[in-house]
Amino acid sequence: MRAIPPTTQALIFINVLVYLLQLVTGNLLIVYFGLWPVSSPDFQPWQLVTYAFLHDRSTIAHLFFNMLALFMFGSDIERVWGGGRYLRYYFVCVVSAALAQLLVSGISGGAPYPTIGASGGVFGLLLAFGMMFPRRMVVLLFPPIPMPAWLLVTLYGALELLLGITGTQAGVAHFAHLGGMAGGFLLIQYWRGRLPIKPGRR
């Protein structure tokens, strides 16, 4: 088994460290660093990034599955892109997921609540993995069915859209997941020169 690349390793370490701090400080970090709707007095611009390092402290499953996906999909992407481009991509997905969530929360209204979790960045990595390694076989945990990466990404995207539209799984930011995938797709297309705005020369 190959070692975890350094940037992926650092992201996992920071997420675990912040989770341990959450266990000690309670909801304090969520109040200041979770992503609150723009209409909330608790909203701050830095939350567009910081929310992605917070997880539900009542269950370790939220952190575990996000970090497992970060390891599974992020490691190979970092090996191909290198740490710098990989990190830029990850944070673009994090921010695009946050913007999608803010848009949806602004339209839907209701009581303000914070969004937390690395899922927006992770779904962006899933999208990149499917685009870069479309024929690589992956196996789901539940159920353990092997399928090519492109199919996994397609099914996950369709499922998130369905769950978001129907309001299934209340409390899960499905449109944030889709926002992370959309931001990642646009950035990859930009890097490939397939958007009207072309990458500049370096």
For the chain, which residues make up each domain, given as ranges?
6-191
Q: Give which of 111, 101, 124 is closest to 48, Cα–Cα.
A: 101
Average per-residue pLDDT for the chain: 89
What pLDDT does residue 174 have?
Answer: 82
What pLDDT does residue 140 have?
Answer: 72
Q: Count H helices, E strands: the chain? A: 8, 2
Residue 20, pLDDT > 70, answer yes
Residue 79 makes CB contacts below 8 A (sequence gap 6+) with 5
Calculated CA dihedral for residues 143, 145, 148, 154, nearest 10 degrees: -30
Query: What CATH superfamily is the domain 6-191?
Result: Rhomboid-like (1.20.1540.10)
Residue 39 makes CB contacts below 8 A (sequence gap 6+) with 106, 112
Residue 76, pLDDT > 90, answer yes
Residue 81, pLDDT > 80, answer yes
Of residues 142 and 138, more confidently modeled: 138
Q: What is the pTM (predicted TM-score) of this model?
A: 0.90
Residue 202, pLDDT > 80, answer no
pLDDT band at 64; cut points 50, 70, 90:
very high
Q: Which long-range contacts (CB under 8 A, 24 or more apart) does 71-76 make?
A: 71/4, 71/8, 71/12, 72/138, 73/122, 73/125, 73/126, 73/128, 73/129, 74/5, 74/8, 74/11, 74/125, 75/2, 75/4, 75/5, 75/8, 76/129, 76/132, 76/133
What pLDDT does residue 136 have?
Answer: 92
Query: Residue 127: how many CA atoms within 13 Å on its side-chain side?
Result: 27
Give me the mean pLDDT over the 101-121 stretch.
Answer: 86
**% of the chain residues with pLDDT over 70:** 92
Determine contact, residues 15/8, Cβ cutoff 8 Å.
no
What pLDDT does residue 167 have?
Answer: 66
What pLDDT does residue 200 have?
Answer: 61
List pLDDT tens digits, range 38-52: 989 999 999 999 999
Most confident among 37-41, 88-92, 145-149, 162-166 (mean pLDDT): 88-92
Residue 169, pLDDT > 70, answer no
Structure tokens at 50: 């910081």
